Amino acid sequence: MSAETFTTSNDLDAINRLYRERGWSDGLPIVPPSVERVARMLAFSSLAPHHVIARLPPGFGEATVEQVAINAVMAGCDPEYLPILIAATKAVAETSFNIQAVEATTNPAAVWLILNGPIVQKLQINASFNCLGQGAWANATLGRAMRLILQNIGGAKPGEMDRATQGQPAKYTFCCAENESLSAWDPLHVERGFKAEQSTVTVVAAEGTLNMNTHSKQSEEMLRVFAQSMIHPTSNEYCHGGEPWLVLAPEHADILKAGGLTKAQVKQRLWELSKMPARDLSVKELLRAQASRRDEYGQIGPDTMLSIARDPSDIWFIVAGGPGTHTVYVPCFGNSRAVTQLIDMTHLNQLP
C-alpha cells in the first residue's frame, strides 16, 4: 500500500507545526518528507517501495521500504543510510528481540544500533571520541530514524502504547560503530557469524549507560571493578537472566588483551565476578526472579548466587571510543536478545 500524501504550504515553520500537532515528530523539528526527498532515498534500495519489511508491534503497522524512507528523511538521514534502516527494521522484528515488550514496557528501553564492517568508514559512522554522544551526523540521524520508525510505524507513542515511566535520552537516538581497528579481538559481527568484509547492524534493547572509570592497569582488577559496578539489585538482568553489554575503551581492551584474555575469558570472568546473592533483591523482585528463572535455578533462596546473565556467552562487548579510561556498561531490558542483520551494500558499493 502506498503511503498517504497531502499537499500543504511550503513553509518550514508551518510544516513543523503540522507534524508536531499530529504527533508525528519525536519532539524535535523534522526535515519535511517530500516526494522528491523520499524518492532520492528509495534509490538506495533494490526492494520495491511497497515491499513489507516487517509488521511492527505494538500497533502492527506495516513497515514498507517507503515508510522507513519517509521516517528516515524526517530524521535528517542522508539517502544512503536507507539500507541500514531496512536491516535494522528487520532486526527489531525478530521474535528473540521481543519488540512488543521493548516498546510497550514501563522500563526505559531504547533501541541501540551498532554498526560493523566496511560501512562504518564509508558512511563515517563515529566509533571514536564521543561515539555515544553528539557530533556525528550518521550516528545522530540513524538512531533518531529508528525511534521515528518505532513510533510512527509501530505505533509506540509515549503515554499511549509506549508506556515508559520516564524513558531515557537514548530514546531520541542511540547509534554507534565498533572501533574495529583498535580492537584487540575479532569484531562483534565476526563473533556473531558474519565475515569481516560484510557490514551489519546489531540492535540491542538498552536501558541506559553507566560510565565505569578505572585507571587500573591489571586485567583481573579491572574486571573485578567492572563486575562490581554492574551489580545492582534493581536490575532486570538479575531478575530474568539478561544480556549485559559493555562498550570497552580501546585502552581497557588493550590491557585485557595484554593480560592474555580472549573475549570468551573476559565474559566468563565478568559472569563469575558479577554474581549477586538473591537476598539483595527486594522481596518482590525475589518473587519475580523465582518465577522467571525457575527453569534455570530450580528454587531460588536468599543464599542463591544469581548471575547477571544465564550464560557467560550472553555478556557482549564492543570496543569503541577514543582515548581515556572509560568503559560503559549498558544494562539491557532482560527479556530481549540482540539481533544482528546483514546490510545490503549493493547500492552503497557504487558510491565513490
Partner 1 sequence: MVDMITLYNPTAAQSKGSDVDSIYAPRFDTLQGKVLGFIDNAKPNFNHLIDDIAELMVARHGIARVIKRQKRAASVPAPEAVYAEMVEHCDLVITGSGD
Catalog residues that contact partner 1 under the rule CB under 8 A. Answer: 1, 3-11, 15, 24, 32-35, 38, 55-56, 59-64, 66-67, 70-71, 74, 98, 101, 105, 148, 152-153, 155, 239-240, 284, 287-288, 291-292, 294-295, 333-335
With respect to partner 1, which residue has the nearer C-beta, 55 or 279? 55
CB of 139 to partner 1, least distance (A): 21
CB of 104 to partner 1, least distance (A): 9
CB of 37 to partner 1, least distance (A): 9
CB of 225 to partner 1, least distance (A): 30
With respect to partner 1, which residue has the nearer C-beta, 61 or 117? 61
Three-class secondary structure of residue 26 per DSSP: coil
Cell of 292: 522467571
Q: How far apart are CA 337 and CA 242, in angstroms?
A: 8
Are 97 and 205 spatial neighbours (Cβ–Cβ below 8 Å)? yes
| Radius of gyration in angstroms for the set of CA atoms belonging to the chain, rounded to a whole number | 21
Q: Tell me the sheet residues that pair with 140.
A: none
Sign of the four-CA dihedral 254, 259, 262, 267: negative
With respect to partner 1, which residue has the nearer C-beta, 82 or 188? 82
107 closest CA partner among 227, 229, 295, 239? 239
CB of 348 to partner 1, least distance (A): 24
With respect to partner 1, which residue has the nearer C-beta, 103 or 178? 103
With respect to partner 1, which residue has the nearer C-beta, 11 or 220? 11
Q: How far apart are CA 149 and CA 146, in angstroms?
A: 5
CB of 325 to partner 1, least distance (A): 35
8 closest CA partner among 29, 27, 35, 28? 35
Cell of 211: 560510565
Burial class (CB in 10 A: 0-12, 13-18, 19+), 232: middle
With respect to partner 1, which residue has the nearer C-beta, 90 or 288? 288
